[in-house]
Structure 1
C-alpha cells in the first residue's frame, strides 16, 4: 500500500499485476490499481482532473491528463472517501507510476494533491535500486 497526504487529503494506492491479461511473450504487461481518496480535512473538495506520469522499466515516460477519474468528478465532504479501480499496460515487466489530482475547495480555490508514486512489478521482475 502506498500513501500520500496533501492538505488533509489522504490518497492510498494498491497496485496488482494481472497475469491473465498480460502476454509476456509479446511484451504486454497489465496492472490494475485501486485508489482511495479520503478527505480528512474540514472543508469539502472536488476532484477535477488527473495527471499521471507512467515510467516503464526502460525509463520511457508517458503522461496521461484528463478530467476526473473513471468518468467521475467526486465531491468529498469532510470524512468522505471515494474509491475506484483502473489499470495500465506496460511493454516492460516493471515500472513506476504517480502523479497529481487537481482539486477545488468550496471557496473555488484550485490545488494539486499528490498521488503517491508506486511500483509496478511482475512477480518475476528483476528489481534494482537506482
Structure 2
C-alpha cells in the first residue's frame, strides 16, 4: 500500500493483479486497486474530479480524466473516509499509475489539488 497526504487529505492505494481475468498470451493483464480517502483536515470537502496517468511498459502514457470516482462525488466531513474499488488493463504485465483529485472546501469554495500516490502494477503470474 502507498500513501500520500495533501493538506490533511490522506489517499492510500493498494493494487492487485487479477490473474483469473487476465490472458497474458493475448497481452491482456487486469489489475484492480482500492483507494481510501481520509479527511484529516478541519474542513468538509467534496471530491469533484480525477485525473489518472497510466503507464504501461508495452505502450505509451494513457490519461483518464472525469468527474468524481466510480460515479460518485463524495463529501467527506472532518474525520470521514471514502473507499472505492476500480481497475485497469495493461498490455504488458508491468506498469504504474498516479494521479490527482480536485476537491472543494465546501465552506469557502477553495479548490484543492490532492495527490494520488504513484503505485506499481506488476503481474504475478504464479500466485494469486
Does the alignment reach a TM-score above 0.5? yes
Find runs of 4+ consecutive structure 1 residues off by over 6 angstroms. Answer: none
Question: In the TM superposition, what is the alpha-carbon distance from 1:37 to its structure 2 partner?
Answer: 0.0
Q: How many residue pairs get matched?
A: 125
* Cα distance in structure 1, aligned partners of 2:50 and 2:22: 25
Q: Normalising by structure 1, what TM-score?
A: 0.93
1:123 aligns with 2:124: yes
Shift of 1:93: 0.6
CA drift of 1:7 comes to: 0.5
Secondary structure, counterpart of 2:20 in structure 1 = helix
- Partner SS for 2:112: strand
After superposition, the CA RMSD in angstroms is 1.2
Distance 2:58 2:20 in 1: 23
- C-alpha deviation, 1:59, in angstroms: 5.4
1:76-125 deviation line (CA, Å, top 9, x unaligned): 0000000000000000010000100000002101121000000000115x
2:7 equivalent to 1:7? yes
Q: Point out where structure 2 has 5 or more consecutive residues left out of the alignment.
A: none
Q: In the aligned structure 2, how far is the partner of 1:69 from the partner of 1:34? A: 12
Q: Taking structure 2 as the reference length, what is the TM-score of the superposition?
A: 0.95
Which runs of no fewer than 5 residues in structure 1 stay unpaired? 125-130
Secondary structure at 2:55 match in 1: strand
Output one character per residue of 1:32-70: Cα deviation in whole Å (capped at 9) or x when no partner: 000000000100000001000000013510000000000
How far apart, in 1, do the equivalents of 2:59 and 2:43 lie? Answer: 39
Specify the alignment match of 1:82 in structure 2.
Answer: 82
Kindly report which structure 2 residues correspond to 1:38-49, keeping only aligned pairs within 5 A, or say none.
38-49=38-49
